[in-house]
Amino acid sequence: MKKNKKDDFLEIEDKKSSCCFLKNILTLSNLASFGSLATLLFLIFFQIYTLSIGFSNFAYISIIFNIFFVVIVLQKIGVLNLNILTKIVNPTLKFLMFLYILNAILSLFLDDILYNFVISPLNIFGAYFIFLLLKRDSI
């Protein structure tokens, strides 16, 4: 029986371009954009969790700073277009990368396993994603 075009609408016509589907999605630009946002959002939710269990009252300050950093990342990736932030985006991202590295190192000295094995590597990945975001114009 001969197939017509309607029968094979689910088949991929161009196998060469479809085999690299993940390669097209996982570009460094997308990884930098969504990785940095995901890291910041996870840290915000973690701070909300620490507030809910009463672990630290300084989490309020961290949440405010992280929301500011989310706005800066959204400005860098082009979701927001605020003229006020254009001059401070790159210096703020460099400062955020420094904070991630510092927090990753300091988290290793805590006795809490969650900080050692989750938060510290997350901060290292966050610094890497911010580095990619800063270098994304040259990639």
Q: Measured between alpha carbons, how far is 55 from 79 in angstroms, rounded to an integer? A: 34
Under 8 Å between Cβ of 89 and 76: yes
**How many other C-beta atoms are found inside a 10 Å radius of the C-beta of residue 131?**
17
**How many other C-beta atoms are found inside a 10 Å radius of the C-beta of residue 59?**
19
Reported pTM: 0.75
* pLDDT score for 10: 41
Q: Could you state, in order of their start, the residue ranges of all structural domains in the chain?
A: 27-135
Under 8 Å between Cβ of 72 and 85: yes
Q: Measured between alpha carbons, how far is 121 from 127 in angstroms, rounded to an integer? A: 10
pLDDT in tens, 34-93: 889 999 999 999 899 888 988 777 888 989 999 999 999 999 988 999 999 889 999 999
Under 8 Å between Cβ of 127 and 100: yes
Which among 7, 21, 35 is positioned nearest to 134, based on CA atoms? Answer: 35
* 50/29: higher pLDDT: 50
Under 8 Å between Cβ of 63 and 50: no
**Dihedral angle over CA of 102, 108, 110, 116, nearest 10:** 120
